[in-house]
Amino acid sequence: MGKPAPQDRGKVYTEERVLDRDRGSLEFRSQNWRGTRTKQRTMYSTERSNDDHIDLDETAEGDRLDFTTFLDEAISDVKSLVHAQKKLIMMEAADKAATLSAKLIQSVVTAFAALFVLLFLNIALAFYLGELLDSTPLGFVCAAGLYAVIAVVFNLYWKNGGRDSFVIERINDFTDGE
């Protein structure tokens, strides 16, 4: 059997208590990731009644229980859980950072390529308009005027609610995976 996942350490899958009044013992059975554990406790009482006393300080063999062993195991399990939780948080953060950087690189390269395409299309438009108007400088002025109109329309849209909807969409995109 391989090593359990860190989140499974310390979990009790089944737990059973069996009281045997004839033998005067109480048996605890629990199964966790390490396997089945059975602990038997002997009951001491002068008379058998509903007031049976269970002495949890001794094992069935009469040995004293070592509480420090239990605490050491519990502390070890808690440390393992904290360590696994820390690793999980670090891995999730690394995953988000890697995804963000990949999206950023893709966006930068795409924007850079789109700007070059747009630049050459604008130059071509300016020369075309210049040829239609029989003046190359006038063609460049008309192309610039077209972009001035586009900028004014965009600013009107952005100030009248476009910015808010853009921000809300980005927030929703960022928190979709959670």
Same domain, yes or no: 168 and 103: yes
Q: How many domains does the chain have?
A: 2
- What 84-92 contacts at long range (C-beta under 8 Å, 24+ apart), as own/partner pairs, is 84/6, 84/7, 84/9, 87/6, 88/6, 88/7
> Which pTM was predicted?
0.43
Q: Which residues pair with 64 in a beta bridge?
A: 58
pLDDT at site 22:
58
Q: Does 23 map to a domain?
A: yes
pLDDT at site 124:
95
Same domain, yes or no: 31 and 99: no
Residue 104 has pLDDT above 80, yes or no: yes
Give mean pLDDT, residues 135-146: 93
Range of the domain at 29: 1-65
CA of 107: how far to CAs of 143, 144, 147, 167, in Å? Answer: 27, 26, 23, 17
pLDDT at site 166:
86
Same domain, yes or no: 132 and 94: yes
